[in-house]
Amino acid sequence: MSALTVSQDPEQSWDDLVRFWEEMEWPEGSKVEIIDDWEIFQTLAIAVPSRLGMLIPDLVVAPVREDADTDTHIPAARAELVVEVTSKSNARQDRVSKPAACATAGIPLYLLVDRWAADGPTVTLYGEPKGDVYRPLSTAEFGESIKLPAPFDLVIDTGDFPES
């Protein structure tokens, strides 16, 4: 998933990230696709009424909207998966504040791609939100695979994730 490399590091521009994705030599047999009935957004805000505001995750996956009222945001309740990629400047927010807001909103899955984890880069899948807390479902170090449960039922290979 190319979107998982999105970062807000000041040293790295959006153009650099797009160029990385375009120039990436994908492993033979790999396939990148958008699954029918799902929309994937990179700059779409999600409205979280319980937090009296909006969040703009690095990636939001939601069912296809039949009657899109706006192109700027969706209600958080429509999101099935939120993905955040940490940078040095926002790691705490992505590890604490955003998952709490997403859990409160009832978003079923929160995937944290943490390049700055204390023990090295990891990917952690959180789920089963209760109140403002998620339960960690699985963690993988960069280089390992992590499985997303239904409704996605897919495995993400982190072997090509950039470590810095």
Cβ partners under 8 Å of residue 41, min gap 6: 59, 60, 61, 62, 74
Backbone angles phi, psi at 102, to 5 degrees: -65, -40
Domain spans of the chain, in order of start? 2-157
In 12-147, which residue ranges form alpha helices assigned H by DSSP?
A: 14-23, 91-92, 98-104
Task: Check pLDDT > 70 for residue 31.
Answer: no
pLDDT on residue 70: 58
Contacts for 161 with CB less than 8 Å, ≥ 6 apart: 4, 5, 113, 115, 121, 123, 142
pLDDT in tens, 41-96: 887 888 887 666 788 889 899 888 776 565 678 888 889 999 999 988 989 999 99
pLDDT at position 99 over 70: yes
Rounded CA-CA distance 46/81 in Å is 11
Q: With bands split at pLDDT 50, 70 and 90, how would you rate the model's confidence at 26?
A: low
pLDDT at 51: 66
Residue 142: what pLDDT? 94
The neighbour count for residue 34, using CB atoms within 10 Å, is 9
- What percent of the chain shows pLDDT beyond 70? 72
Q: Which fold has domain 2-157?
A: tt1808, chain A (3.90.1570)
Question: How many Å is the Cα radius of gyration of the chain?
Answer: 15
- 145-158 confidence digits (pLDDT tens): 999 999 999 999 99
